[in-house]
Structure 1
């Protein structure tokens, strides 16, 4: 896994079209402070081929995670939001413009660090 730096967030989201209409594959609680999510998305760097993207959040301070059985029903038509402010990364399903309202999402994670990896579809 590779760390996702604050300055890389916008290019990362642009590369995957902000994960609009992507597929939420899984949520894994690795430890009490580590959560890994897996998404299937189109990668503009690979001619819009579908790939799997893992996001690992470490130092989780707050989260709302749906049950695995509900993941296929999450509306991904607005994609995801990744925001970094201070020493906090926030992820939320949907389009949000501020850290303060990302908790309105049906699925959100606030953590101290974020790593990612890419794999085959």
Structure 2
């Protein structure tokens, strides 16, 4: 299944369905190029009776990012889930509850567009 672009309505529905990835796990962070980054989370899907699935987000047009090494990545606190924001010209993804201030998060990616893909759970 290819990456699906996110709009305001699809983003809201997805984030509510996965409870903003709260208590989820970060599985991987993959820089695809200097302007494209993928991050994969394992989350519980409310629409599937809280079964675990993986969600892969891809941010394109990356203009700024605060990333961490792999050994720190898995230790990031996911109790507050993720923040994802969209405007007509930009997008932001951050670990934690950082609405309106994603660049203050311990981990964030700022870009021009974001999409997602649902994947089987990776134990």
Normalising by the smaller structure, the TM-score range is: over 0.9
- Compare the two structures and name the one with the higher helix fraction: 1
* Aligned partners of 2:7 and 2:86 also within 8 Å: no
Measure the CA separation in 1 of the matches of 2:99 and 2:82: 11
Q: Deviations over 1:82-117 (max 9, x none)?
A: 11123111110011221xx21111110111111110
Shift of 1:6: 2.3
5+ residue gaps in structure 1? none
Q: In the TM superposition, what are the counterparts of 1:28-107 in structure 2 within 5 Å?
A: 28-98=30-100, 101-107=101-107
5+ residue gaps in structure 2? none
* TM-score, scaled to structure 1: 0.94
Measure the CA separation in 1 of the matches of 2:92 and 2:35: 14
- How many equivalent residue pairs? 119
Measure the CA separation in 2 of the matches of 1:6 and 1:60: 19
- Dislocated runs of 4+, deviation >2 Å: none
Please tell me the root mean square deviation across aligned C-alpha atoms, in Å. Answer: 0.9
Measure the CA separation in 2 of the matches of 1:3 and 1:85: 13
